[in-house]
C-alpha cells in the first residue's frame, strides 16, 4: 500500500506539467484532439494556453484512487464540517471565473489551481456518510481521506511550483560549481563531456558525438526539475499525514522530520543521476538520427511523458 501511495504522490507531481503546460502542449493523436475539443465545447471550457487538461484530470483521479489505501488519522465529523466551511471562501474566489463564464455563456480558462480546494471540500463531504451504513461509511472514509490528502498535496505542490517558477524566471542558469558537477556525472556514464564558460556561449556542458559537439545549457530545469520539486513537497505532506497518525502526539514532529530528511537526502542523490540519464537519452537520440536528417533531439528535455 505504501508503494501505491508513493506512486500516487508521483502522479500528482507530474500532473502539473499538463495542468499548467510548464513545457508545451502534449502531442495528441488526431482522434483524441477532436474528442477533447468537443468535450471542452460541451462544458464551455477552454484549456489553459497549450494545456492538456484531460491528462491532468486523469492523473489526479488515478492518484486519489491510489491514495485511498493510505491509513491515517481522519478528522471527526465536526472537524470535517468546519474544514469544509473554511474552504468555501477559497472556492468562491478560485471558481468565480467559471461561474461568471457559465452565466455569460462564454468559455472559461480551465486552470488546475482550484483542484486542491475542490478535493478537500469533496473529501470532507464524503466523511459525512451515515455510520449506520457500514459499507458506505467505510468507503466514504477511504475516499474522503484520499481526497483530503490529495488536496493537501496539490496545495503544497501549487505553492512550491509557483515559488520555483518565480525563482528561476529571471535566470535559468545553474551557479558554479553545479555545471561542473553535471559534467562529471555525464562523464561517469561514459560520455565525453566538459563544462565551460565562454563569452560567446555562456555556461555550457558540451557533449561529443561523431556528428557535432552539442552545447547543452546547464539549467535548473535540467538538474532540479519542477516535477521533483513538487514530488518532494508532496512527500513532505504525505509523511506528515503518516507520522501524525502513527506516532504519539508529542513525537510525531520528530518522526516526520527524520523521515523527511531521509527522503530529501535520497532525492538530492537522485537529481544528478537523473540529469545524467536525460543527457544519455538525448545523445542516444542523436546517434540514432540519420546523418542527413535534421536533429530534433532536444525534444527529450521538454517531453512531459519522459518526466
DSSP class per residue in 215-258: EE--BHHHHS-HHHHHHHHHHHHHHHHHHHHHS-TTTHHHHHHH
pTM of the model: 0.79
pLDDT at 29: 45
Task: Report the helix count and the strand count for the chain, using DSSP H and E.
Answer: 10, 5
Burial class (CB in 10 A: 0-12, 13-18, 19+), 293: exposed
Contact indicator for 112, 20 with CB cutoff of 8 Å? yes
pLDDT at 30: 45
Residues in the chain: 307
* Cell 542516444, residue located: 284
pLDDT(289) > 90: no
pLDDT(117) > 90: no
pLDDT(151) > 60: yes
CA 225 to chain centroid? 10
- Percent of the chain's residues with pLDDT above 70: 73
**Measured between alpha carbons, how far apart are the two ends of the chain, in Å?**
23
pLDDT at 100: 58
pLDDT at 177: 83
pLDDT(47) > 50: no
Q: What is the mean pLDDT of the chain?
A: 75
Contact indicator for 186, 206 with CB cutoff of 8 Å? no
pLDDT at 48: 44
- Kind and range of the H or E run holding 198: strand 193-198
Report strand pairing: 45-47 vs 108-110: parallel
Could you state, in order of their start, the residue ranges of all structural domains in the chain? 1-171, 173-218+247-307
Residues 226-281 pLDDT 10s: 889 999 999 999 988 888 776 556 677 788 888 889 999 999 899 988 988 888 88
Least trusted range by pLDDT, from 114-118, 123-127, 132-136, 144-148: 132-136
Residues 191-213 pLDDT 10s: 877 777 765 666 777 778 777 77
Amino acid at each position: 500500500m505504501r508503494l501505491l501511495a508513493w506512486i500516487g504522490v508521483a502522479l500528482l507531481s507530474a500532473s502539473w506539467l499538463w495542468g499548467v503546460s510548464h513545457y508545451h502542449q502534449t502531442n495528441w493523436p488526431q482522434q483524441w484532439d477532436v474528442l477533447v475539443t468537443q468535450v471542452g465545447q460541451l462544458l464551455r471550457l477552454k484549456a489553459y494556453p497549450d494545456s492538456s487538461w484531460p491528462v491532468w484530470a486523469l492523473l489526479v483521479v488515478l492518484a486519489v484512487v491510489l491514495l485511498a489505501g493510505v491509513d491515517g488519522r481522519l478528522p471527526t465529523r465536526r472537524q470535517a464540517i468546519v474544514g469544509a466551511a473554511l474552504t468555501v471562501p477559497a472556492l468562491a474566489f478560485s471558481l468565480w471565473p467559471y461561474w461568471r463564464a457559465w452565466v455569460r455563456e462564454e468559455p472559461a480558462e480551465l486552470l488546475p489551481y482550484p483542484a486542491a480546494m475542490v478535493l478537500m471540500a469533496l473529501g470532507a463531504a464524503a466523511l459525512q456518510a451515515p455510520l449506520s451504513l457500514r459499507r458506505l461509511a467505510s468507503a466514504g472514509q477511504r475516499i474522503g481521506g484520499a481526497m483530503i490528502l490529495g488536496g493537501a498535496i496539490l496545495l503544497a505542490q501549487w505553492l512550491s511550483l509557483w515559488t520555483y517558477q518565480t525563482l528561476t524566471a529571471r535566470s535559468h542558469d545553474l551557479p558554479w560549481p553545479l555545471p561542473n558537477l553535471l559534467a562529471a556525472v555525464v562523464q561517469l556514464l561514459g560520455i565525453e563531456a566538459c563544462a565551460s564558460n565562454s563569452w560567446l556561449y555562456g555556461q555550457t556542458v558540451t557533449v561529443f558525438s561523431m556528428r557535432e559537439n552539442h552545447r547543452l545549457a546547464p539549467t535548473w530545469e535540467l538538474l532540479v526539475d519542477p516535477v521533483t520539486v513538487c514530488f518532494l513537497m508532496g512527500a513532505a505532506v504525505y509523511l506528515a499525514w503518516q507520522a501524525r497518525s502513527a506516532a504519539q502526539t508529542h513525537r510525531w514532529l520528530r518522526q516526520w522530520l527524520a523521515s523527511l530528511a531521509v527522503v530529501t537526502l535520497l532525492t538530492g542523490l537522485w537529481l544528478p543521476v537523473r540529469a545524467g540519464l536525460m543527457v544519455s537519452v538525448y545523445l542516444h537520440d542523436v546517434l540514432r538520427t540519420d546523418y542527413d536528417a535534421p536533429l530534433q533531439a532536444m525534444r527529450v528535455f521538454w517531453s512531459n511523458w519522459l518526466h
